[in-house]
Structure 1
Amino acid sequence: MTLDFWFFCIAGPAVLFAGVSKGGFGSGAAFASASILALVIEPGMALGIMLPLLMLIDVSTLKPYWGKWGATEVKLLVAGGIPGVIMGALLYKVASPDFFRLLIGGISVGFVFWQMGRHAGMIGTAKQGLPKSVGLFWGVVTGFTSFVSHAGGPPAAVYLLSRNLSKTQYQATTVLVFWTLNAVKFVPYAFLGIFTIETMTADLLLAPFAVAGAWIGVKAHRFISQRLFFGVTYTLLLLTGTKLIWDGLT
């Protein structure tokens, strides 16, 4: 990996985008930053660069959303997410990420169309809340996909968008969930040798982009309406789901 001008032309905007997504729009598209980096460097190195930056964004956005999350949703996603991270660490060397990209991408795109049908009155809505097992299941999927490709945002969104949270509850929940899961991921990443001197050097140079993106995301979240927020979130979920399908096929 060469930390030259062209690297930062790609990496700088990618990290800025991750900060904006995680800071204001529920992390749905933040995973795309690792995919963008993988255009210019080896994919495993891209994961190693992004994790410390994602953790920096988590820390930068935790205070503005402190205490505003959905407690039940956080507990279920984290309770399922930690085993998912462990599963990802155990299967990292042998599992094919493309299968999971296709699976999560298909579910994400299908969920958006399901929600469109529900709002249009074409699909009935359950009168009772979803069982806790649903939250635990999506927590496992979130933890696993977060570990293997930083793509935990779409499966988390599938569950959280079904919970009728306010835009700030939704955003705060994603901040706390991924702050926890990214911290858990750090140890197995280190043992697997994903971090190197090169990745840490790149992190130091890219840190300002991460902080700036987080700040922009928090500001954008405060000034947009709840309807626009969820419109953007559904759009990001559709785009990221499509991108996952494309990555899995190609």
Structure 2
Amino acid sequence: MIQDPLFYAAAIPAVLIVGISKSGMGGGSLGILSIPILSLVASPAVGAAIMLPLLIAMDIMGLITFRGKGDMRNLRILIPAALIGISVGALTFRFTSDAMLRGLIGVLSIAFVVQRAVGLGSAAVPTQPSIAKGSVWGALSGFTSFIANAGGPPFVIYLAPQQLDKLMFVGTSVIFFSVINAVKVVPFIALGLFDARNLTTSLALLPLAPVGYWLGLKMLMKVNQARFYQITVAALFVAGCKLLWDAAGA
């Protein structure tokens, strides 16, 4: 287990932020901030390996809390596409530029927010599930989740315009990322990203997972539908800016 107190000074807020994000606040995009925080005290690969078991624990909480809330029309499109994206990510992990990928997702995220803000096209009109769009964004979400832990923004870009009920949105997110995180375990093991030190560190941080999740759930239940989507889009903008910052500094 990692013993450095500085590591836990960064890891504790990172886990709490992930918990708040995983419970639905910000549409899941705020969780993207956890790996950069951990990267202050550990390599991105170590941070990802430590966080994955915690993410799976939070996924289990979400599946219990939001059971029956997922939108199956979207999930039937998104999940197969994401599995393809994860497979491509596992095969190209050693050769893909993390900085370029983060920069691309950052630009797309900010462009989406700007489009919504200025009302271009039919931004205010709810869209419908789309096999073409869902396949593209689902695959990109799976790919970026594996390579750069940035699967949230592509998912939000696809699903937010549909303006689903907030609990349906979160339930769909919970099922989608539960599948992604479970599937990532096998390639993480194959790539040697798990070891005894990382797993015992995850175990030490595990009690924080329900705390962060509970905090986020309390926030989610207090906001109305309109405010939920305002927060989701704002969180996507923050995530996009952070991704661009990371890409520029790489």
Name 1:11's counterpart in structure 2. 11
Q: Deviation string for 1:176-211 (max 9, x for gaps)?
A: 100011000110001100011111011011101112
- CA 1:74–1:6: 2 relative to 1, 3 Å: same
Q: How does 1:81-160 map to 2 (within 5 A)?
A: 81-118=82-119, 122-124=120-122, 129=128, 131-160=130-159
Q: Distance in 2 between matches of 1:12 and 1:235?
A: 24
Secondary structure of the 1:94 match is: coil
1:3 to partner: Cα distance: 2.2
Q: Deviation string for 1:129-177 (max 9, x for gaps)?
A: 4631100110000000000122100110000112121111111111110
Query: Which runs of no fewer than 5 residues in structure 1 stay unpaired?
Result: none
Q: Distance in 1 between matches of 2:236 and 2:218?
A: 21
Tell which deviates more after alignment, 100-109 or 226-235: 226-235
Name 1:203's counterpart in structure 2. 202
Q: How does 1:169-180 map to 2 (within 5 A)?
A: 169-180=168-179
Name 1:213's counterpart in structure 2. 212
Name 2:36's counterpart in structure 1. 35
Given the alignment of the two structures, is residue 52 of structure 1 paired with residue 90 of structure 2, yes or no?
Answer: no
Q: Distance in 1 between matches of 2:116 and 2:129?
A: 15
Tell which deviates more after alignment, 89-98 or 163-172: 163-172
- CA 1:230–1:124: 2 relative to 1, 3 Å: closer
Q: Distance in 1 between matches of 2:146 and 2:176?
A: 13
Q: Distance in 1 between matches of 2:237 and 2:118?
A: 14
Please, what TM-score do these two structures have when normalized by structure 2?
Answer: 0.94
1:2 to partner: Cα distance: 4.0
Report the residue type matching 1:105 in the other structure: G
1:83 to partner: Cα distance: 0.4
Give the conservation status (yes or no) of the 8 Å contact 2:74–2:129: no
1:215 to partner: Cα distance: 1.6
Q: Distance in 1 between matches of 2:127 and 2:147?
A: 34
Tell which deviates more after alignment, 212-221 or 98-107: 212-221
Q: Distance in 1 between matches of 2:35 and 2:21?
A: 13
Q: Distance in 2 between matches of 1:91 and 1:225?
A: 41
What is the number of equivalent residue pairs in this alignment?
A: 247
Please, what TM-score do these two structures have when normalized by structure 1?
Answer: 0.94
Q: Distance in 2 between matches of 1:164 and 1:225?
A: 13
Secondary structure of the 2:41 match is: coil
